[in-house]
């Protein structure tokens, strides 16, 4: 939390900084910044010159900042324009009219934004912000799998590279995968790159009475694949009335042990609408941060995990990417590849049930 002070050419006045520090403090006061410690006014005062400068630059550059719910809350509530899950942020990227899109998330999300908004300059704060799922499968590997299952519909989870999207019939997110796969005419589905989500999909479709054969590749999310059902059972003994909330990237055993399984957006909605003494969030800790801001009356018992890729985002790097992006921060895609990847994402929008 000890950040260097920013010294822009014309530094904001002390009263402007105080005003910004108060705004940040009001948003962040219930959020853990370290285990057992929440944000204090001093920490907010320290980052206020930077959030002021980023928000000023956004106007100057005609930029919009999209923030996934897993990034640090000072980014989401300090400088973000839109916050949410992968599906919601894809919609925002498609609708964006801004000249610059800063994607505070991971690289595949920035690529998706570029696929949907080719006219905008899309930047990511840190090019190293990969994803164990997206990085588990190349376009070449998918081409080989397709050759082995030529009759299968190819469904890619959005946590995949642009190349994999370009090889797929339809893209899905954690929020619409069941509905989209159920609607596809093919019985055989090649689902990539998340093996565990594929297994959860198989189980859920069977439960809904939908007859599909799901073949998967072997990727997993390094954040979600380590939660275990035994710890869930132990937590239920220690915290009577506990509600357990899991992401579909968890194992089927964990999904079966949870009270609710859904996308990060659906998990937030569930917690806000559910009365329970405690919640165990089997997902990335950023989501707990968002809930501490938006549902401060709820109690969380820990157990969440950090995504090392999402945590590469910072206010300082967002500032760099906005002020003068380095070439590695700018997402560029071959136009032919972009067009082919766009088809699978557009198909997702067509097949997602309208709520
Ligand atoms: P959501 O689409 O549910 O936000 O998931 C993104 C992600 O990376 C989960 O690990
Ligand atoms: Fe990828 Fe998992 Fe991180 Fe999500 S939480 S970005 S799936 S590594």
Average pLDDT on 98-112 reads: 98
The DSSP-derived string for 143-154 is: HHHHHH-TTSEE
Phi, psi of 221 (to 5 degrees): -85, 125
Among residues 191, 172, 188, the alpha carbon closest in space to that of 180 is found at 172
User: Any residues with Cβ below 6 Å from ligand 2, and which?
Assistant: 106, 131-133, 159, 221-223, 249, 284, 307, 309-310
What's the pLDDT band for 297 if we cut at 50, 70, 90? Answer: very high
Q: Which residue has the tokens 């067009």?
A: 339
Question: Cα(19) to centroid of ligand 2, in Å?
Answer: 35
**Across 35-39, 80-84, 178-182, 217-221, least confident range:** 35-39
The pLDDT value given to residue 8: 52
pLDDT tens digits, 11-59: 888 899 999 999 999 999 999 988 788 899 999 999 999 999 999 999 9
Average pLDDT on 199-209 reads: 96
Question: Cα(106) to centroid of ligand 1, in Å?
Answer: 10
The pLDDT value given to residue 328: 98
Q: Candidates 3.50.50.60, 3.20.20.140, 3.40.50.1370, 3.40.50.10800; correct CATH number of 224-294?
A: 3.40.50.10800
Burial class (CB in 10 A: 0-12, 13-18, 19+), 146: middle
Question: How far is 175 from 158, CA to CA, in rounded Å?
Answer: 11
What's the pLDDT band for 2 if we cut at 50, 70, 90? Answer: very low
Task: Tell me: pLDDT of 206 over 50.
Answer: yes
The pLDDT value given to residue 9: 61
- In ligand 1, which atom is closest to the CA atom of 221? 10
- Ligand 2, atom 2: nearest CA belongs to which residue? 221
Task: Tell me: pLDDT of 7 over 80.
Answer: no
Among residues 183, 136, 185, 189, the alpha carbon closest in space to that of 164 is found at 136
Distances 137 to 157, 162, 191, 200 between C-alpha atoms, Å: 11, 11, 12, 19
pLDDT tens digits, 225-280: 999 999 999 999 999 999 999 999 999 999 999 999 999 999 999 999 999 999 99
- In ligand 1, which atom is closest to the CA atom of 85? 4
Task: Tell me: pLDDT of 1 over 50.
Answer: no
CB 327 within 8 A of CB 106: no
pTM: 0.95
For the chain, what is the mean pLDDT?
96
Task: Tell me: pLDDT of 188 over 50.
Answer: yes
Residues in the chain: 355
Q: Candidates 3.40.50.10800, 3.40.50.300, 3.90.330.10, 3.30.1050.10; correct CATH number of 14-129+310-329?
A: 3.40.50.10800
Domain 134-221, second-level architecture: 3-Layer(aba) Sandwich (3.40)
Average pLDDT on 114-136 reads: 98
- Ligand 2, atom 1: nearest CA belongs to which residue? 131
Question: Cα(242) to centroid of ligand 1, in Å?
Answer: 23
* 342 vs 6 pLDDT, higher one: 342
Question: Cα(121) to centroid of ligand 1, in Å?
Answer: 23
What's the pLDDT band for 4 if we cut at 50, 70, 90? Answer: very low
Question: How far is 1 from 17, CA to CA, in rounded Å?
Answer: 17
CB 145 within 8 A of CB 167: no
Average pLDDT on 94-109 reads: 98
Question: How far is 120 from 97, CA to CA, in rounded Å?
Answer: 8
* Ligand 2 mutation target, pool 130, 131, 246, 281, most atoms within 8 A of CB: 131
Question: Residues of CATH 3.40.50.10800 domain(s) within the chain?
Answer: 14-129+310-329, 134-221, 224-294
Q: Determine the Cα angle at 282 with ends 202 and 172, to 5°.
A: 40
Name the closest ligand to CA 86.
Answer: 1
- The β-bridge relationship of strands 260-261 and 279-282 is unpaired
Phi, psi of 288 (to 5 degrees): -65, -40
Question: Cα(338) to centroid of ligand 1, in Å?
Answer: 22
Question: Cα(305) to centroid of ligand 2, in Å?
Answer: 11
CB 240 within 8 A of CB 299: no
The DSSP-derived string for 43-82 is: HHHHHHHHHHHHHHHHHHHTEEEEEETTS-HHHHHHT-SE
Tokens of 32: 């853990």
Task: Tell me: pLDDT of 355 over 90.
Answer: no
């Amino acid at each position: 939390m000890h950040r260097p002070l920013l010294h822009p050419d014309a530094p904001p006045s002390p009263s402007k900084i105080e005003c910004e520090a108060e705004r940040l403090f009001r948003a962040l006061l219930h959020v853990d910044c370290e285990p057992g410690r929440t944000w204090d006014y001093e920490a907010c005062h320290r980052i206020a010159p930077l959030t002021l400068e980023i928000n000023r630059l956004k106007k100057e550059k005609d930029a919009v900042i999209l923030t996934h719910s897993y990034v640090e809350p000072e980014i989401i509530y300090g400088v973000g324009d839109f916050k949410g899950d992968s599906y919601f942020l894809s919609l925002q990227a498609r609708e964006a009219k801004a000249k610059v899109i800063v994607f505070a998330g991971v690289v595949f999300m920035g690529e998706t934004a570029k696929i949907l908004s080719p006219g905008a300059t899309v930047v990511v704060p840190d090019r190293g912000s990969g994803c164990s799922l997206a990085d588990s499968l190349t376009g070449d590997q998918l081409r080989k799998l397709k050759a082995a299952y030529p009759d299968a519909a190819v469904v890619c989870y959005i946590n995949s590279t642009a190349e994999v999207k370009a090889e797929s019939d339809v893209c899905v997110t954690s929020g619409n995968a069941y509905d989209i796969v159920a609607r596809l005419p093919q019985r055989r589905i090649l689902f990539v790159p998340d093996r565990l989500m594929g297994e959860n999909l198989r189980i859920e479709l069977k439960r809904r009475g939908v007859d599909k054969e799901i073949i998967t590749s072997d990727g997993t999310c390094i954040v979600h694949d380590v939660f275990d059902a035994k710890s869930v059972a132990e937590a239920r003994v220690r915290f009577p009335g506990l509600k357990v909330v899991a992401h579909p990237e968890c194992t089927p055993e964990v999904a079966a042990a949870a009270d609710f399984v859904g996308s990060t957006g659906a998990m937030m909605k569930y917690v806000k609408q559910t009365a329970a003494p405690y919640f165990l969030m089997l997902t990335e800790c950023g989501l707990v941060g968002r809930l501490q801001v938006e549902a401060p009356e709820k109690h969380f018992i820990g157990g969440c995990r950090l995504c090392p890729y999402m945590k590469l985002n910072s206010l300082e790097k967002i500032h760099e990417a906005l002020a003068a992006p380095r070439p590695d921060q700018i997402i560029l895609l071959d136009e032919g590849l972009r067009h082919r990847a766009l088809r699978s994402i557009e198909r997702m929008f067509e097949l997602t049930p309208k709520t």
